[in-house]
A and B are shown apart, each in its own frame.
Chain A
Amino acid sequence: MKRWMIYVGLVVLFILHQDFWFWDDATLVFGVFPVGLFYHIMYSVVAGCMWALAIKFAWPDLGEDESQ
Chain B
Amino acid sequence: MTPAQTTVLIISGYLALLLALGIFSGRFFRGTSSDYFVASRSIGGFMLLMSVFGTTMTAFAMVGSTGEAYRIGIGTYGKLASYSGLIHSACFFFVGLKLWSFGKRHNYMTQIQFFRDRFESNALGYLLFPILVGLVIPYLLVGLLGAGAVVKGVTRGAFPELFEVSGGSIPTWLTGLVICGVVLTYIFIGGVRSAAWANTFQTIVFMIMGVVAFLLISRGLGGFAEASAQATRESMVREGRMTQLEFFSYGFIPLSVGMFPHLFQHWLTAKSAKSFHLTLVAHPIFIMLTWVPCILIGMWATGVFPNAPSSNAVLGMMVGKFAGPIMGGLVTAGVLAAIMSSLDSQFVCLGTMFTQDVVVHKFGKDRFTDRQIMWMARGFVILIVLVTYGLSLLEPRAVFSLGVWCFSGFASLFPLVLAAVYWKRVTKTAAIAAVLVTASVWFGLFAASDFGKERGFLVLGAQPVAFIFLACLLTIVVVSLFTRAPSEVTLSKFFPKK
Contacts and interface: CB of A to CB of B under 8 A. Distances in A.
Interface of A: 6, 10, 13-14, 17-20, 23-26, 28, 30-34, 36-37, 40-41, 43-45, 47-48, 50-52, 54-55, 60-63, 65-68
B56 to A, nearest CB: 14
Contacts, number: 132
A48 B285 contact: yes
Given A18-B244, A40-B77, A62 B86 contact: no
Nearest to A65: B101
Interface string B270-294: 0011100100111111011000100
A3 B296 CA distance: 37
A51 B280 contact: yes
Interface string B159-193: 00000000000000000000000000000000000
Given A24-B239, A51-B284, A60-B97, A17 B90 contact: no
Given A18-B247, A32-B228, A54-B280, A47 B101 contact: no
Interface of B: 74-75, 77-78, 81-83, 85-86, 89-90, 93, 97-98, 100-101, 104-105, 224-225, 227-229, 233, 236-239, 244, 247-248, 251, 272-274, 277, 280-285, 287-288, 292, 295-296, 299, 496, 498
A63 B283 CA distance: 25
B281 A63 contact: no
Contacts of A41: 77, 82, 288, 292
Given A40-B78, A65-B104, A25 B288 contact: no
B287 A44 contact: yes
B78 A34 contact: no
A66 B276 CA distance: 11
Contacts of A63: 101, 496
A36 B284 contact: no
A25 B237 contact: yes
Given A18-B247, A36-B75, A43 B277 contact: no
Contacts of B299: 34
Given A18-B247, A62-B97, A65-B101, A36 B237 contact: yes
Contacts of A65: 100-101, 104-105, 272-273
A28 B288 contact: no
A38 B247 CA distance: 17
Contacts of A30: 224-225
Contacts of A62: 97-98, 101, 273
Contacts of B272: 65-68
